[in-house]
Chains A and B, each alone.
Chain A
Amino acid sequence: VETYRVRVTRKHPLAPGVMEIGLERPSDFQMQAGQKIRFHHRGLARDYTLINAPDEDQLVICAIQVPQGNFSPGLMQSPLGTVYEISKPFGYFTFQVSVRTAVFLATGTGIAPFVAFVRAGVRDFILLQGARSDEHLYYWSEMMAAARTYVPCLTRTAEDLQLVPETFQGRVTGYLETRLPVAGYDFYLCGSGAMVDAATRIIDRRFAGSLVYGESFF
């Protein structure tokens, strides 16, 4: 089987322009946490990371609406029952067991693979989650509960500090540069290409001997 035809089974808004979308799971669908699927739709191909646990009975993605996008507006407005063609799961951005502390850096919907990791049972990690404001810290409570250290990094002043108890004012790369203790880590970077580039340069400079696994999506 190269592709599957699956129905939209659930839609759940997370924030303005951001939505969790559930899809029915084909019976022979085998996946690892952190893998993606590719939507094939009217000649377009779009990749989304699955955020469900590997053994869950549905597939779940976190979609952000790209203004004037060719695919995401239609996906997010599609009624329940709409059929999409998706690929088998693919990709190598999966969690690797290690004696070193894992440090996850996520911006925007780059949190998606880390949500999948947590739902697959990964614990005891450091997570730096970057967003403009606290309403875009998707899944923060679930992630904070699983992390050894959870650091929301906001580029705007937090509007509702009750949501997230302690924040770093600045980018995830700012925290990496100034706050994270120097040591050897396993870094997992997911978000914009600019963040992955900047973080990698800081890691090369401050965290020699660390491993770097990166996934950038724009």
Chain B
Amino acid sequence: MKIYTRTGDQGKSSLFSGERVLKNHPRMKAYGDVDELNSMIGALVAALPGGTAAAKGQLEQIQGDLFRVGAVLATTPAAARAKQITPIVPADIQRLEGYIDQLQASLSELKHFILPGGHPAAALAHVARTICRRSERGVVDLMQEGDPSASGDPSWLADALIYLNRLSDFLFVAARHCNAVAGMADVMWQG
């Protein structure tokens, strides 16, 4: 099967719910950011140091969750096709909070700002964290801009937003975990 299509050559693309929209539509921007975030997490997984098997499993679960976040963002809730997707629900957020608690348990308490960086995997986790924050802003834009399609089931976007907020916290902790496992100290900000 050919990977390329020409249906987007005029600057339009299809939402999962079937609407043809411009590629700068708030939904396209929002799920594009989530796609970028997922790809960066893939790079992070590829760069993980040894001794991080648990984090690897968590990150792969999160990558699957992000497909579901993307599907929520690419689907107008009032659309007929909305019933085909599996939105993020509070149980997913609780699972993510469990991951944070697991990784944080072995880390020292942080009393200063730290510079993003250290082991390559930690650096990638920080980049992923910043993309995650942008993804959050995209969801907020979608909610605020009065997109009529956002009104079908507000809990979908609200739960996706909470998930992304929690995920950025997870990625911060994951960065510190990677440095700790690799034997690299966090670099404190001296400002």
Contacts and interface: CB of A to CB of B under 8 A. Distances in A.
Contact of A204 (B10, B80, B81): B10
Contact of A211 (B2, B10, B19, B84): B19
B97 to A, nearest CB: 30
Given A186-B18, A212-B20, A214-B14, A193 B80 contact: no
A92 B2 contact: no
B6 interface: yes
Contacts, number: 48
B6 A201 contact: yes
B18 A193 contact: no
Q: Report whether over half of chain A's contact residues are helix, strand or loop; otherwise say mixed.
A: mixed
B186 to A, nearest CB: 43
Contact of B81 (A92, A214, A216, A218): A92
Chain B: interface size category:
10 to 19
A217 B10 CA distance: 23
B110 to A, nearest CB: 43
B14 A193 contact: no
Contact of B80 (A97, A200, A218): A97
A96 B85 CA distance: 13
Interface of A: 92, 94, 96-98, 186, 193, 196-197, 200-201, 203-204, 210-214, 216-218
Contacts of A210: 20
Nearest to B84: A92
A213 B5 contact: no
Interface string B65-85: 000000000000001110010
Contacts of B6: 197, 201
A213 B19 CA distance: 9
Contacts of A212: 14, 18, 20
B46 interface: no
B54 interface: no
Given A97-B80, A211-B17, A193 B2 contact: yes
15 contacts: A92-B81, A96-B18, A96-B79, A96-B81, A97-B80, A186-B18, A196-B5, A196-B7, A197-B7, A200-B14, A203-B20, A211-B18, A212-B18, A213-B18, A213-B81
